[in-house]
Amino acid sequence: MKTVTIDGVELHLSEPDRVPMTWVGQEELITQVLAAWLVIHPDDLPLCPRLVGRPGVGKTTLAYHAGQASGRSVYLFQATMDTRPEDLIVTPVISEQGKIKYMASAVVSAMISGDVVVIDEGNRMSEKSWASLAPLMDNRRYVESVVAGIKIKADHEFRLCTTMNDDASTFELPEYIHSRLQPQIFIDFPEKEEERRILKRNLPFADDQVLEYVVNFLQAAHEANERYSVRDGINIARYAIKRLAATDGSLSGDAARPALMRHLMASASMILDQRASDYFRGMRHDP
């Protein structure tokens, strides 16, 4: 584990996340994130965008993909209503020798290494926790660890963004935090062909017929202003394929279509609700 020493205090850095996340679809959104992070003058500073949208539309995937596209490693920090300031900065633990060991958070590890940190679902975090990051998101570019008694400055290559669901917030963030989390980049449901590509990327083993049924389901749900997302569609398709293999694995071709629809309807009902199942009910067996 990599360590650094700041003002006589040894910090143990965490490793960046390496996960199979690839953004599929709207290239303009990647450009918007990268533009926010761009520095065009020695006196300029990067912005800290917030990605806003319904759950499951790909906000975290977009942020992760943009971070990698910038040539940096990416650290993911999952915010919760229980996140404390020390969780965001430095946490003391007891080592095997009984001594205190200072562990840098994903935020601080990215700050020191000059990489990207994505604070996921940031609107679930309290003002007290966000306040500990306020100096990091203006021209001061540092955080202070009360636990370790040190001030930690960010590398000039460090970048930050947060994702926020637009459904509800556990905490209402004050204006001084919102003014630092700019610009706001809104992510909506994808268009039909983009949704098909996302499903294909995540379900390369799925039959085209399965993908077509699920794409039609999602598009109909979007038109009805349902909150069902492509992530829901992926889960429905994955579970339906598993059910089909477990119970009707010997069926193929036209004979498998009624069984496939039955499993898609059951999967939609179990993963979402009965109303979701009804969107499949009106489809023809031949999409």
For 73-91, the pLDDT digits (tens) are: 999 999 999 999 999 999 9
Task: For residue 98, give Cα distances in angstroms to 4, 5, 89, 92, 198.
Answer: 20, 20, 22, 12, 49
Containing 270, the helix (H) or strand (E) segment is helix 256-271
Ordered domains of the chain (ranges, CATH): 3-187 (3.40.50.300), 192-281 (no CATH)
Phi/psi class of residue 149: alpha, beta or left (left: φ > 0; alpha: ψ in -120 to 50)?
Answer: left
Q: What is the pLDDT of residue 141?
A: 96
The pLDDT value recorded for residue 249 is: 64
Q: In the structure encoding, which two tokens stand for residue 30, read together?
A: 């990647």
Bridge partners of residue 165, in order along the sequence? 53
**What mean pLDDT do residues 113-120 have?**
97
For 48, 149, 246, 266, the CA distances from 278, given in Å and listed in that order, are 41, 58, 23, 10
The mean per-residue pLDDT over the stretch 99-103 comes to 91
Per-residue pLDDT tens over the stretch 231-243: 999 999 999 999 9
Is cis: bond before 183, omega within 30 of 0? yes
| Per-residue model confidence as pLDDT tens digits over 188-238 | 998 999 999 999 999 999 988 899 999 999 999 999 999 899 999 999 999
The residue among 185, 163, 189 whose CA lies nearest residue 29 is 185
Tokens of 54: 């319904």
Query: For 152-178, how does the pLDDT look when each residue is reduced to its tens digit (9 = 90+)?
Result: 999 999 999 999 987 766 678 889 999
Give the CA angle between residues 137, 140, 144 to the nearest 5°: 85
